[in-house]
Every structure is written in structure tokens, then in C-alpha cells.
Amino acid sequence: MSIELHNYPQPATYDELIDDQLQPRPAARTLFGYLDRLGTTELMARREAVDAAIMAMGITFTVYSEAGNIDRAWPFDLVPRTMSLKEWKRIDAGLKQRLTALNLFINDLYNDQKIVKDGVFPIEVLEGSKNFRAQCKGMTPRFGVWAHVCGTDLVRDSDGTVYVLEDNLRVPSGVSYMLENRELMKRLFPELFKSSDILPIDDYPTQLFDTLAALSPRPGDRPVVVVLTPGIYNSAYFEHSYLAQKMGAILVEGSDLVVQADDCVYMKTISGLRRVDVIYRRIDDDFLDPEAFRPDSALGVPGLMRAWRAGNVGIANAPGAGVADDKVVYTFVPQIIKYYLDQEAILPNVPSFMCMVADQRDHVLANLDKLVVKPANESGGYGMLIGPRAAPEERAKFADLIRANPRNYMAQPTLSISTAPTLIDDKLAPRHLDLRPFVLQSDKLYATTGGLTRVALREGSLVVNSSQGGGSKDTWIINTGEA
């Protein structure tokens, strides 16, 4: 058995760690020198150790299936993704630029709608939005920020360009796995953290708490912050409990909270009611408040929207923030950045076609075998068509769906998404991946140094979601000394 790079196949697309001459890129040189000295037998032993640690620590995710919900151990690859600090600085600036503009956009949509009146954002797109909440009209949350936590998905094409694939602004998940991946790697390779200048990420819980605390309507006191979860059967429950514990916040379900006649939110405790200042909600808008949204919701808190609109509680992300979490709205983000910030987008979008525009729809329908088609509001890799790999019947079905509801679909070319060496059995093999950094905004902006790298463990697959066979890697932003 060997992990030497001469056994690694010639990259068919951009490889994050290996160049075209099968040599480690600068940010990966120390890593591969270490792996070479370590040897395959020891590497296999450490993989067994980390798999055992994942089971012992209870790091799981839930797969929903017809046979019932199944908890599975978190699939983790021990070869990290590396990137230089020099490259990361540009990405960091682009992420912060993007979230700043999106929050200005959301606030505008719920108030003056200047961007619509000025003809930059089509009224038809707004009218067709499933996530625009009329209940939020006229509201401006503290700091004018609606999306306090954003998970932005990035991919790299074959020419090395980093693109934004989508923005996750409703209830973005995955940050707990990013943090746990780093803890696992510190246990696995402590020597590498001493010999490499790997930028830390362990301040995220503190940064998240500070972001939430800034929303408190009682800024003079230490705020009471709660994490609102749908409960133990939710696929992200591990993350909800993990973040609450790390922040020193209180994990609650809707039945633990009540809105009183003073339009304030209180938590039920054995000592009586205790006022809540900030809610980090991990429940979709529809289920947040049965008085304002779905009346049959048993997950939310009756009267919560009244308390929020009265300014008596902060909610992150704010109700209605999902209006910008729409794959059709995504196509307008470069124009949104230009409109509100008078800047060009630092991070480009993947070139996209809107099916609601006749000539673009015709192009999509004529090229379904070459495109990826996505519904506006699905997530997790569901509901999409990967044209080059789809059967003719599936493409015909999508053509009918597009014609029936063109507003609900957009399409993109199939990118040659970058790969990275991944330990498959006892050999390194290229697997496609993406990257989800997390960006926070309230009275300040913060972006994680790196993020959650998700990897498609199946050969040739482009789907990185854990629910569909994907796994993850630790992401190392390394100061290589480059200016």
C-alpha cells in the first residue's frame, strides 16, 4: 500500500491540493510531506481511531426515508482541503460584500422597494417569491439586518475560478460539523498543527453569541439567548444542541416559550417565567408562529411575530429573510451589489439562465442534456436535474415542469467542479467538493476562516450532500508567507 503521489491519477479538472505535474500546491506541501513520512499503515490506524471518536462523540446526521428516520455517523475524510491565506483574503472580502448587499436588498423589499421601482429587480420575480412574507412589510430589524447567519456555497471550476453556487439565508446548517472536523483533526494530526500556520476557527461560537447578543432589546444586561429547535427528530438537532452548549445559550422547543400580554417572550422554567431577549431560530418561517403563518404548527410560538414587530425580541435569522434565498433571486446578486454598494461583485456567480425569460427558457429546453436545472427553493440537492447524467425520460419530465412553471426554475452549465485527494479504502482518489463558509452580520461582519468542505464520496458524483452519500473534510487556510 502507498499514498505516494505518483499513484494519484492525472487531475481531470482543477485539483485543490495537487497541480498538473502531480506536485503538491504550496499550501499542501507540508501536509503531503507529513503523510509521506507517516505511511499508509499508520494512516489507516488513525482513520479507525477517528471513526471510533465520531461514534463515541455522537456526531450524527439524520437521513429521512420512507422506512423512517435513520441516524448515521458523520462521514469524515481525514485528508484536509488546503488553501492559502492569500487566496482566502479575496474570498473573505467577497463573502462580506455579498451579505452586506443582500441585507440591504431584503430590507428594501420589505419597505420602499426602490430596487423594484428603479427597474433593477423585476416585480414578477418578487411576486412569484414563495419566501416573501407580507407579515414583515414595514419592518426594519435592528441594524437593518435580516440574515444574521449566511452559509454561502462556493465551487471552483476547471480554470481555477471560485464561483458562488448559492446563498443559504433561511436556516443554514453545517457549522457544527465544521467545528467538529477541526477538533477531530487536532486529535488525529497534532504534529501538523504545530508545524503549519493553520488559521483557527474555534472562535465561531463566541462570534455567533456576540452577533446574537447585539440584537437584544435590553442591551445593558447580559441577554438571555435561546436556540429554538423543532426537536430531536430534526436532521440538524445535533447542531442545535451543539451550538447552544458551545455558546452558553439555552436549547428550547416552541412549547417552552410563551408570549404574554406585554408582547414579550418568556421561557418557562421551574422558577417561573424568564424573559427571552434573542431567539436563534432553527425553524422555517411557516412553522414559527401559528398566529401569523401556518395555524396548524405545533413547533412555533403563538404571538412571536407580534413580539418581534414590537421590538421586544430579536430573531435570527429574521422572519422573511428567505426572500433572498431563492435560486432565481441569486441570478440578480451581481446587480444587487452594484445597486446598493456601487461595487462590482468580488465573487462571481455561476453563469445562469432564468426560465421565466422566454429566450433563456428556449435555450434551456434545447440544451437540457448539457445543463443543471434547479428549482428556486429546494435544498439538499433535491428536485434538480443534472442534464448530462439524466435519462431522456427525466429530461422530458423536467421540460414539462419548466413549461408549466418557468418562474420556479433556473439553469446553469455543468461545471468541471474541482477535486481533492480523498482516502478511499487505502488509496488517495480525486473526489469533487464544494465549500460552505459561514458569514455573520449584526453590528459587525465576521466570516469563518474557511468553512465546511463537503465532498462527494462516490466516484464521479457531483452531489456532496450528506443525505445523498456525501461526506466532509476539514478546511485549512494556511499562511504560506505569500504577500
Structural domains in the chain, sorted by start: 353-413 (3.30.1490.270)
Does residue 194 or residue 54 have the better pLDDT?
A: 194
How large is the greatest C-alpha to C-alpha distance in the chain, in angstroms? Answer: 71
Give the pLDDT score at 65. Answer: 45
Give the pLDDT score at 71. Answer: 54
- On whether the CB atoms of residues 302 and 138 are closer than 8 A, the answer is no
Residues 447-460 have a mean pLDDT of 92
Give the pLDDT score at 467. Answer: 59
**Residue 252 — φ and ψ, nearest 5°?**
-135, 160
Residues 4-10 have a mean pLDDT of 73
Mean model confidence pLDDT for the chain: 90
Give the pLDDT score at 1. Answer: 35
**Cα 356 to chain center, whole Å?**
26
Give the lowest-confidence range in 122-126, 206-210, 279-283: 122-126
> Residue 338 pLDDT more than 70?
yes
Does residue 357 or residue 73 have the better pLDDT?
A: 357
Query: Which among 217, 91, 108 has a CA at the least distance from the CA of 154?
Result: 91
- Residue 234 — pLDDT band, cuts 50, 70, 90? confident
List the grid coordinates of 233.
427528530
What does the alpha-carbon distance between residue 48 and residue 238 come to, in Å, rounded to a whole number?
A: 22
> Helix 392-404 crosses helix 358-366 at what angle (to 10 degrees)?
170
- On whether the CB atoms of residues 15 and 419 are closer than 8 A, the answer is yes
Give the lowest-confidence range in 32-41, 139-148, 397-406: 32-41
- On whether the CB atoms of residues 171 and 281 are closer than 8 A, the answer is yes
Those residues whose C-beta lies under 8 Å from the C-beta of residue 185, and which sit 6 or more positions away, are 78, 80, 192, 193, 474
Using CA atoms of 418, 103, 150, 268 in order, give the dihedral in degrees to the nearest 10: -170
**Residue 136 — φ and ψ, nearest 5°?**
-100, 0
Share of the chain above pLDDT 90, in %: 69
- Residue 379 — pLDDT band, cuts 50, 70, 90? low
Q: What share of the chain is helix, strand, coil (3-state, %, to 5)?
A: 35, 25, 40
Give, for 360, the enclosing helix (H) or strand (E): helix 358-366
- Residue 18 — pLDDT band, cuts 50, 70, 90? very high
Q: Establish how many alpha carbons lie within 13 A of residue 10's alpha carbon, considering only the half-sphere containing its beta carbon.
A: 2
Using CA atoms of 57, 61, 65, 70 in order, give the dihedral in degrees to the nearest 10: 10
Does residue 196 or residue 18 have the better pLDDT?
A: 18
What does the alpha-carbon distance between residue 130 and residue 132 come to, in Å, rounded to a whole number?
A: 6
pTM: predicted TM-score of the whole model, two decimal places? 0.92
Burial of 402 (0-12, 13-18, 19+ CB in 10 A): buried
Residues 218-232 have a mean pLDDT of 92
Give the pLDDT score at 46. Answer: 85
Q: CA angle, corner 78, sides to 209 and 94, nearest 5?
A: 50
What does the alpha-carbon distance between residue 233 and residue 64 come to, in Å, rounded to a whole number?
A: 10
Give the pLDDT score at 67. Answer: 42
pLDDT in tens, 72-98: 666 888 999 999 999 999 999 999 999
